[in-house]
A and B are shown apart, each in its own frame.
Chain A
């Protein structure tokens, strides 16, 4: 019997819906794209590894410190490191914090919900009390402004949440690169499958947070809360960083007073999938920082391709950004496929319809993204 699938003819991205229905990726499958995506994810993996280590360090060792001057030093402060920090030839950990703040601002997921619970506040207050036990001044401040230090710990919780999420993602990307080097990854669907498998395998990893004060461990997010990797960090991260973003932290500045920014945050489309790879004006904006970090860790085979491009290394960061967007559409594909409500190969018409509605919703959101550009 021949099954005729209903085509999503009204969606301008109908072609991509069909692709996803066939189990293919949002990015065309060809050797150039595979090389580019794997290469860029290798450098991204290295950078994420550094980011995640720093985020976890800050969460565990720099919590409730009001002036964390050396928070990017991971506990190893030296004059040489300080000079390098000022010279700026270093990992821009600020980018990780921008992502963290974007996640915090947009919220969503179990982590965000838990940080507003009474349970968290009690645990936070307990940690504050212990931390400032010998301080005559801070407990008084805490009594006057109880939200102030609690908010500090809320931010610390996001540090660890994003740190744990990126720990997993860094390992997924680095193992992908290893498999490619071994000749085991040869197509974009394989790349997507590897990422999807990694996400699924770690989906239920618990997200926890505990701090050590004077040798004692204090739990802030205990395992019993039930926060997990996929639902409570990965999905909110994708939503906040890939899709919504922040209007002033992109490659284009927007004027809120000129009503260029939607009043509803859910309608934001300033994330990584929408960002214009061409920087305009000022330096130091987050995507530029990330590209600057990644350029230090490009695998030689990818760097060689960039060197032989029209402008050589003059527009290296733009080329990295374009490759990065390609790779992010692979991660998005993995996420979309991983969250499909029904199996992709289902024969049940209702389930097929449910899958199509689900995909159409995703594609509607991607209409103004760089999807068509990365497919050129």
Chain B
């Protein structure tokens, strides 16, 4: 069942890629949307059939692949990967729908988007370290091309920077994965058979270091973040949606799945430092966002800050905090995607994202009142206003992390206040007052421009009011994962105490 998800996207990519050269952009988009929609509906079917109470991998598929390498085609879903799969499928549909009909080389573009989505889907499904790595690398190439070909003025620079950072990230992750398998004496990369907890703490720390930096680049965490604002600014709107909405989550997913879960002892050891690192990311991201005059860059820096919350929650490693981390991943995926979509509409219509140029866009007649109102919803959600998903996810993160890291949690909470500050600056400058002379003759905004963000806004409010509908898929898996981690940490602590005696 799970392979179908990847195959549908790959078949779609191949079909569009090898179609006759004469097909127009609208047709290619339609075909891509059909395949992405099938994948999305399939994830919904999987979600309906998923049993939240079962903490083992569900719909598991296992096919031996290259025995010599210990590589197997193992797929499965649990409460951690399911919501991310659904998010990826939804945002892929939205990204395709939001793509410009008249863009150049549409066949190649839509093929790459479907390929990208297939890579991400595979990474979330993979239950084998090497398989995860292959999918993780698979999404790198389409994303590089999508930025390098259809990006803005400095797309070459941004894409190359992204490529270099992510390649380094890949090397570190691969090195850690190989270390985990080879040093623990395992004959396979399968997650189920892997047990690196037997390794000495120093070795575990070394391996965790590779994972932390590797996924830290992808998330991104300060100081490995500099590729992100450039990539966002140069990427087209749909690619920014996928980048912020899904691809950054590969990093946080990797941290939880392969860092916290596989190396719990080392994780517990470095947790206070991780929490401090999270605080630095949160405050640095928010401070940088305040200084921006480009709306897109502001939202990009906001992502850096928000990803810090996930690290804080993961560092605390309580069932509640890790649940908060997953909620924050989903929440950020929806909110940042929505904000990038809206900023994209502003840019498309006004020709600028510069807060020095834009003014009065909420004007009911000549501005973009609906787009402005949706941005108000988006920034309220991002700033953690009650009644929206952003609030509940941040609340769970803080509530779960506070007993373990009270100081770091309180400092991170300042980040929430700063989020309100920079987004109010954005709203005040771009949306209030009289329309500035440069944007007085804006073209019409259609419902097709508003619909994608409106859909996300509805989800943000629904899950904000009823977060249980989201948490129920994840909670049992997370609780089991954190409990088993705590057992390992407790046993190793006992061992250490015994050795001292």
Interface residues of A (CB under 8 A from B): 252, 276, 278-280, 283, 310-312, 314-318
Contact = CB atoms under 8 A, between A and B. Distances in A.
Contacts of B366: 278, 311, 314-315, 318
Nearest to B369: A314
B363 A280 contact: yes
Contacts of A317: 365
B441 A276 contact: no
Interface string B433-447: 111000011111100
B363 A279 contact: yes
A283 B369 CA distance: 13
Interface residues of B, number: 14
13 contacts: A278-B363, A278-B435, A278-B440, A279-B363, A279-B365, A310-B441, A311-B442, A311-B443, A314-B365, A315-B365, A316-B365, A317-B365, A318-B366
A282 to B, nearest CB: 10
A252 B363 CA distance: 13
- Pick the most buried of A276, A311, A317: most chain B CB atoms within 10 A of its CB: A311
A280 B365 contact: no
B402 to A, nearest CB: 41
A314 B447 CA distance: 12
Given A279-B364, A279-B365, A317-B365, 14 more contacts: A252-B434, A278-B363, A278-B366, A278-B435, A279-B363, A280-B363, A283-B364, A310-B441, A310-B442, A310-B443, A311-B366, A314-B444, A314-B445, A318-B365
Interface of B: 360, 363-366, 433-435, 440-445
Contacts of B363: 278-280
Contacts, number: 36
A315 B434 CA distance: 15
A280 B444 contact: no
A278 B433 CA distance: 11
A366 to B, nearest CB: 21
A370 to B, nearest CB: 14
B441 A280 contact: no
Contacts of B443: 310-311
Nearest to A317: B365
- Pick the most buried of A276, A316, A318: most chain B CB atoms within 10 A of its CB: A318
Contacts of B435: 278
Contacts of A252: 434
A279 B445 CA distance: 18
Contacts of A312: 444
Contacts of A280: 360, 363, 433-434
Contacts of A310: 441-444
Contacts of A283: 364
Contacts of A316: 365
A251 to B, nearest CB: 9
A310 B360 CA distance: 18
Contacts of B442: 310-311
A312 B441 CA distance: 12
Nearest 3 interchain pairs by C-beta: A315-B365, A318-B365, A311-B444
A283 B364 CA distance: 9
Contacts of B440: 278
B376 to A, nearest CB: 15
A190 to B, nearest CB: 31
Nearest to B368: A314
B413 to A, nearest CB: 33
A318 B366 CA distance: 8
